Chain A
Amino acid sequence: MKKTLTALLIALMMTPVLAFGAYPEKPITIIVPSNAGGSTDTTARLFIKSAKKFIPDADFVVKNVGGSGGQKGFEEIARAKPDGYTIGMIFTTQIVAHIVSKRADYTLDSFHIIGNMMQDPLIIAVPATSEIKTLDDFIAAAKAKELTVAVNGIGSDDFVAAKKFENHTGVTFNLLPTKGSTEQKAMILGGHIDASFMNVTQLHGQHKDGTARIIAILDDKRSDIIPDVPTAKELNVPVSMTATRGWVAPAGIDAEVAATLDKLVADVMSDKEFIEACEKDVMILHPMSGPDYKKYLVELQAETQKFYETTPW
C-alpha cells in the first residue's frame, strides 16, 4: 500500500527542480531511438533511475523516436542543440549501417560518444525438433542444401553476422528478413525455418526450456547466461559479432558538460543497484569508454562497408 503510494507520488511529481547556475538546470531529454517497452527503452529508464542518485537535481524526459531501424532517433540526436540537454542512445550495427547505405543525415563525427553500456552477442539458433545439433551439423546441412535462415532485417547485426558466417564457411543461406526478434522467435519455435541468427538475450529462456536450441554463440568467450553453449571460435569458425548499446550526445558539446555526462554514465555503470537490475533483466554489461567505443564504431563501420559493397540493401 505504502509502496504503491510512493510510486504514484514519483509518477505524479516529476516536476523540475529549479536550481540556477550549475548544469543541469532544466530537464535533460533522452532520445531513445526505439519504441517504448523495448530493451533499449528499458535500459534508458533503468539508467534514469540510477542517474538521479548521482545528480539529484537532474530531471530526465524520455523521448521515444522509434522506427526506421533507429535512424530517425539517431538523426534527431545529431541535429539537437549541443547544450547537454539532449542526449541519446545508439545501438549497433544499425547506427553504422545507415551511414554506409548513404541513408543517414549524420556521420559518426556528428556525435560526442559518451560510452558503451551493454552488449548482446549473436547466436545461431535452430528449432528444438531440428536434426541439427552442433555447429558442424549446421555447416554440413548448409552445404547440402540452401538453409532458410531468419535475420532481423537487412543491415541489422543479425544480417552482418550471417554474411560474415557465409564468408568464412563458404555456404550460402536463403536469407529471410523479418520485422524483428519476435517474429524470428515465433518462426524458430514453430519450426517454419531452418535456423536464425539472433541475440542471446532474445532466446536464452527458450533454450533453457528446451523449446529452441542454441548451437553456438558468436563471441570470444562463453556467456554466463548459457554456459553450455560453445563459442563459434571453439569450433574453429572464427566469427564473432555482438550488438552494443551506448550513449551519445550531439557533437560540439561544451567540454565541461561532456565531462559531467561521461562521468554520469561511468557512475551509473558502477552503481550496484543498476548492475543488479541489469542482471535480473539479463542485460549484459559491457562498459567501454568514449574513445574506445568510438574506435569500435569506426572499425565496425569499415567492416559493414565491405558487406554493403558485395550486397547492397
Chain B
Amino acid sequence: MIFESLQALLAPSSLLAVFIGTVSGVLVGGMPGLTATMAVALLIPVTFVLEPLTGLILMGGVYCGAMYGGSIPAILLRTPGTPAAVATAMEGYPMSRQGHGGLALKVSVIASFCGGVFSTFVLLMVAPILAIFALTFGPPEYFLLAILGLVGIVSMADDESSLVKALISGLLGLVIAVIGTDPISGQLRYTLGLTDLYDGVSFMPALIGMFSISQMLDLTSTKRIVTDTSTLQKIKREPFPKGLKKFVGLGSITGTVVGVLPGEGATIAAFLSYNFARQYSKKKHLFGHGNPEGIAAAESGNNGCVGGSLVPTLTLGIPGNSVAAALMGGLIIHGLIPGPELFSKYGVMTYAFILSLFLANIIFLFIGLTMAPYFARISLIPTPILIPVVCLFSLLGSYAMNNSILDIFVALICGIAAVILHRTGFSLGALILGLILGPIAESGFAQALIIGHGSYSIFFTRPQAIILWAIILVLLIPPIIQISRQSGRKKADVERQSDTSAE
C-alpha cells in the first residue's frame, strides 16, 4: 500500500499541491493574525474542485508551512506570526539584535524540520497506540499538565527578575485568563458587558501587544534593530552552534506527545519544550539573552505538534487542535470519516497524505535555508520605516483574528502595560504562560472535581496523574535549590543585579 501511496504522491498535481501549500503556509504563518486554521478553512471549498488527495495535501502543506513561518517574524521583529512562536521570539529576537538573526533563522528552520519529520514518522508508525495513550488523559491530567507548564515560571525567575515578581506576573496572567464565561456555570465574569470579552481576553492580540507593539515602542529610540553590526558581514559563514541535537530531540518528543493530546496546542508544546530545555541546559544564564538552544527546543516542539495532532484526528476523529479540526472538516467533506477505515479502505490516500507531510517539511527546510540571509536583512531596515509597517500589521493582525475592533485596543493596552511591567522588573514570559495555561488549568480543575463528585483525591489516585506529579517535582526541585543557594551566597549582589539586567 505504501508503494501505491508513493506513486500517488509523486504525481505532478500532488507535488505541485505540496509546494503551493507549503509556500502559502509559510506566508500565512509569517503574518500575525493570519492563521493556518483560517487558510485551511478557506481551502475546504476549493478542494471540492480537486481530487480529494490533492486537496488534503494542499491543507497538510499549509499546516506544516504555517507552523514554521510563525518563527520568522518572531525572530526578526519579536512579532510572533503564530502564538506558538512566542517562545522562539524570547530567544531569537535577542540574537537578531546582536546581529545573529541569520543564524537564529537557520537554527529555527532546522529544528522545525526535525520536529516535523519526527512527529510525522511517529504518525506513520505508531498512530493507533499513541491515540490510546491520548485518551487516558482526562480533566485531572489536563489540570496537572497546566501546572507542569506553570512550573516554568520558577525557572524563568533566576535571571531577569526576582522569583516573587515572576510569580506575581504568572498569577496576573492566570487572573486575566479568568475574564470571560465561567467554563462550568456559563455565567459571565468581569466582562464589563462587552460581548467581545465573553470568550475572555483574546490571546493573540494580547500577545501581539506585549511582544510586538511594546518592542516597536521601545525601538523608537534606536536607528536599527541590530545593535552590533560587526557580525553582519559573516552571516553566511557563521558556524552552526554545537550541541543542539539533544534540545531538538527533547523538543520533538515533547511536541509530539503534547500534540497527541486532544485540545492541546502547539503553543503549549513550544513552551513546555522551551522550559525543559531551560532546565536541562548547561548555559542557563544565556536564556532570555539569545540562546539558540531555546530556539531549537521551541521550534522542534511546535512543529512536532503537527504530526502529533493528526494522530487522534485520523484515528479517532478527535482533532488535536483547531487546525487539525479544520483539516478534519476537509476530510469529512470528501466522505472520509476518520477511524480505522481511513487506514485500510482509504489507506492509499491516507498514507500518501502522511508521506506528503515529509515532503512539506523538506520544502520549507529548503526555503528557510536559502532565504535566511535575505530574511535577516529585514532587521536592517531603518526603524522610521520599519516601525510603522510592523505596527500596522500588528494592529491589523489583532483585528483579523476575530474581526473585533476591541481586540485592537487589547493589543495597544497590552503593549503599553508590557513596557511598564518590563521596566519595573516583572516577567512578561511568566505573564504569557499564565495567560495561555489559565483556561486549561481552570476547566481541568473544575471538571475534575465534578467527575470526582467534589473530592480532591482524583488528582492523586490516577496513575497518569501520579506520573505527572513526579515530573512536576523533578522540574521544581532543582531551580528552587539553586535560587535558595544563590540568595544565600550573594544576598547583596542580587539587588544590584536586578536593576542592571533589565536591559
Contact = CB atoms under 8 A, between A and B. Distances in A.
A–B touching in complex (CB under 8 Å)? yes
Interface of A: 1, 3-4, 6-8, 10-11, 35-39, 41-42, 45-46, 48-49, 63-68, 71-72, 75, 101, 103, 105, 146, 148, 153-155, 174-179, 182-183, 185-187, 189-193, 204-206, 208-209, 211, 277, 280-282, 313
A35 B319 CA distance: 15
Given A6-B49, A7-B46, 10 more contacts: A1-B13, A4-B50, A37-B40, A68-B181, A155-B186, A176-B451, A183-B262, A186-B263, A189-B135, A313-B185
A177 B138 contact: no
Nearest to A48: B45
Contacts of A38: 325, 329
A281 B333 CA distance: 4
A44 B148 CA distance: 40
B335 interface: yes
Contacts of A39: 329
Nearest to B136: A190
Interface stretch (B191-199, B284-292, B345-353, B391-399): B191-199
B453 interface: yes
A288 B42 CA distance: 28
Contact of A45 (B44, B188, B316, B334): B44
Nearest to B14: A4
Nearest to B186: A154
B405 to A, nearest CB: 12
Interface on chain B toward A: helix, strand, loop, or mixed SS? helix
A178 B20 CA distance: 37
Given A45-B45, A280-B333, A174 B326 contact: no
Contacts of B12: 1
A154 B199 contact: no
Contacts of A72: 195-196, 198
Contact of B138 (A190, A205, A281): A190
28 contacts: A1-B16, A3-B49, A4-B17, A4-B50, A37-B40, A67-B402, A72-B196, A148-B450, A176-B447, A176-B451, A182-B263, A182-B319, A185-B318, A186-B135, A186-B312, A186-B318, A189-B135, A189-B316, A190-B134, A191-B135, A192-B138, A192-B139, A205-B317, A209-B340, A209-B341, A280-B333, A281-B333, A313-B185
Given A3-B49, A42-B333, A189 B318 contact: yes
Interface string B296-323: 0000000000000000100011110011
B332 interface: yes
Interface centre among A4, A6, A35, A277 (most CB of B within 10 A): A4
Interface centre among B54, B187, B322, B451 (most CB of A within 10 A): B451
B492 interface: no
A10 B184 contact: no
A45 B38 CA distance: 13
- A-B pairs, top 4 by smallest CB distance, nearest first, are A37-B326, A36-B41, A154-B186, A190-B135
Contacts of A192: 138-139, 451
B206 to A, nearest CB: 15
B406 to A, nearest CB: 10
B443 interface: yes
B48 interface: yes
A204 B332 CA distance: 12
Given A208-B339, A280-B335, A71 B198 contact: yes
Interface in B95-138: 134-138
B338 interface: yes
A7 B46 CA distance: 6
Given A42-B329, A45-B45, A182-B263, A35 B186 contact: no
Contacts of A183: 262-263
Contact of A209 (B47, B198, B339, B453): B339
A185 B135 CA distance: 10
B432 to A, nearest CB: 21
B45 A205 contact: no
A104 B17 CA distance: 44
A35 B401 CA distance: 10
Nearest to A104: B195
Contact of A206 (B54, B317, B329, B334): B317
Contacts of B199: 67-68
Given A177-B184, A186-B263, A209-B339, A193 B451 contact: yes
Given A72-B196, A148-B451, A205-B339, A37 B44 contact: yes
A3 B316 contact: no
A277 B54 contact: no
A302 B407 CA distance: 35
A146 B134 CA distance: 27
Contacts of B329: 37-39, 41-42
A154 B185 contact: yes
B387 interface: no
Given A3-B49, A49-B48, A75-B195, A206 B316 contact: yes
Contacts of B332: 280-282
A37 B341 CA distance: 23
A205 B37 CA distance: 23
Contacts of B325: 37-38, 182
A41 B325 CA distance: 12
B499 interface: no
Nearest to A193: B451
Contact of A11 (B46, B135, B183, B443): B46
Contact of A46 (B45, B181, B195): B45
A67 B316 contact: no
Contacts of B472: none
A200 B318 CA distance: 15
Contacts of B450: 148, 174-176
B322 A313 contact: no
Nearest to A103: B188
Nearest to B312: A186
Nearest to A46: B45
A206 B339 contact: yes
A45 B330 CA distance: 12
A65 B17 CA distance: 29
A37 B183 contact: no
A281 B339 CA distance: 15
A212 to B, nearest CB: 10
Interface string B141-180: 0000000000000000000000000000000000000000
